[in-house]
Amino acid sequence: MTFVIDTKGYSVVEQCPRNPRLEGRLIVSRRSIDTLLAAALDVYFLIDAAGRDLGTLGPEQTNVDRYLRNNCALPPVQPLPPVVIPHDLKDMPPCRGGFLRYAPRRFLDGTELSVFYVVKPGHRRDSPLTVDSIASPPISLDSLLESFDDVCGR
């Protein structure tokens, strides 16, 4: 089977003792435009033998390395500690111009990019985020912790 995929580079998973079904899958680097992050990033993806996207590994080579160690190495490596998000930030507090919503980007290696948005009033809290529903550019956890009062107008 052959297919064409737009990529900046790729590698083939050749040996994977813990999970042999990963053997022959592709890890590709390609430009990804994320409208919610308002950014174009070079990101690594896992692709199957038919060219189907199986998920995002992350933006760094370390994401790829971690994924391969976690899924192929014997014994597996210890998982990274989870990112701790304060509950008061996850509870969608009111902010100037709407409410704060936590919308992380999760990667196949077990890491995540912690991202928050101020969402416009009237948007249902359980509905998917769209470009039309957000009232702010993406806000990182570090920026939010440093300047919550400035972001949310308190």
**What is the residue extent of each domain of the chain?**
9-72, 87-152
- pLDDT tens readout for residues 43-95: 999 999 888 999 999 999 999 999 999 999 877 677 778 888 998 898 889 98
- pLDDT tens readout for residues 14-38: 999 999 999 999 999 998 877 777 7
3-state secondary structure of 51: coil
Q: Please, which pLDDT band fits residue 2 given cuts at 50, 70 and 90?
A: low
In the block, tokens 């989870």 appear at 82
CA 44, chain centre distance (Å)? 11
Tell me which residue of 64, 88, 67 sits closest to 79, measured CA to CA. Answer: 67
- pLDDT tens readout for residues 108-154: 998 888 999 999 988 888 888 888 898 888 999 999 999 888 888 76
3-state secondary structure of 35: coil
Do 43 and 56 meet the contact criterion of CB atoms below 8 Å apart? yes
Distance CA 104, CA 127 (A): 15
Do 83 and 106 meet the contact criterion of CB atoms below 8 Å apart? no
